[in-house]
Amino acid sequence: MNHQEVFGYATDAQLSEFLYSLRLLGPSAWPKEKQLATLYAISNHLENHYKTFTVQKRNGQMRNIYAPSPLLKGVQRRILVSLLNERQVSPFATAYKNEGSIFFNAAKHARQKYILKLDIEDFFGSILFPDVMNYAFPKAIFPKRISGLLTSLCCYHDALPQGAPTSAAISNIVMKPFDDYMGKLASEMGINYSRYSDDMTFSGDFDTAYMYRKAKMFLNDMNFSVNHAKTKVLTRKMQQKVTGLIVNEKVQVSKAYRKKVRQEAYYVSRFGLRNHLAFIQQLNEVEISKEAVKRYQLVLLGKINHILCANPNDKEFLNWREKIKGL
């Protein structure tokens, strides 16, 4: 007898007990009925539990980030730890898991004749409510009512919100069929394949047009679209970059990127985070919020960590990281 058959005979009281057993609100003195009512209230009024802000992407365009309220964020983190982290993801997925990193992803494609890079357009926004329910909280495992509630708590505007702690893990679960199929096909043809979030990379001596068609067809079947502006075929005569790292020979960060981050870290250490952010955005310091300063600090630390991924023992940027952390 499978989970669905078992839950098919469960009473409302038993389903409520199962939901309560997940302890999604953490340790609480509230009675069980109030805790369950709170979860349903959150799921029915998600607009009250998200703040939207924008961050600038590397290409200058803006990206919406949806930050959940502390209450919802806590619920999502418990869903992540209790339910999602236990789910199996493809070995070809290299993001959002302990053993994955941009360096680990890039290293798979070092010293290759051809590199084919594909990008999924609006990745999180293309993973819709039914996808989350069917892949992350399937009715074969969860009662229908609870599957719907868990899905609601992890979605916003009927899609995965970029900014929720559950979204990354769910995206890996949703992409597992694609990763497994493309990874197996690539391996049989002597091709390396990996996916880091929305970035897919194939490398080796192979027919790039054929692999592009196969990947595009599967993605279209899953209601994803390839971002044609980011589709690239790189040869050994070109600078081959994978997840921001150069892989022609050994995996490394470009000299230009190091110089740019070094300069930014220097200005911040000399003039302060708020002052330099105001200079960049051409605003007065009083117009820069505390939250904006914190976000900028995290972005700069992310750039430094990107460099340290390629060389964890880089003394210069280890020093810069400690300085920026201390501001």
- Residue 98: per-residue pLDDT: 77
Tens digit of pLDDT for each residue in 3-62?
A: 444 455 567 787 788 888 889 998 877 888 999 999 999 999 999 999 998 877 766 677
Task: Classify residue 270: in a domain, yes or no.
Answer: yes
At 108-158, the pLDDT tens digits run: 999 999 999 999 999 999 999 999 999 999 988 888 889 999 999 999 999
Query: Which residues constitute the domain of residue 49?
Result: 10-88+126-164
Last residue of a domain, one of 226, 244, 262: 244
Q: What's 214's domain CATH number?
A: 3.30.70.270
Q: Considering the domain boundaries, does residue 258 fall inside one?
A: yes
* 270-320 confidence digits (pLDDT tens): 999 999 998 888 878 777 888 889 989 999 999 999 899 888 899 999 999
Residue 3 lies in a domain: no
| Entry pTM | 0.84
Please check whether residues 229 and 309 belong to one and the same domain. Answer: no
The percentage of the chain sitting over the pLDDT mark of 90, rounded to a whole number, equals 71
Q: How far apart are CA 215 and CA 172, in angstroms?
A: 16
Same domain, 145 and 84: yes
For residues 39 and 47, the answer to whether their CB atoms sit within 8 Å is no
The residue type at 184: K
Q: Across-strand partners of 199?
A: 119, 196
DSSP string, 149-218: HHHHHH-BTTB--BTBTTHHHHHHHHHHHHHHHHHHHHHHTT-EEEEETTEEEEEESS-HHHHHHHHHHH
* Alpha-carbon span 250 to 93, nearest angstrom: 21
Q: Is residue 4 part of a domain?
A: no
Residues 275, 157 within the same domain: no
Same domain flag for 31 and 138: yes
Total count of domains within the chain: 3
Query: Which of 110, 143, 164 is the last residue in one of the domains?
Result: 164
Distance CA 53, CA 65 (A): 5
CB under 8 Å to 8, separation ≥6 — which residues? none
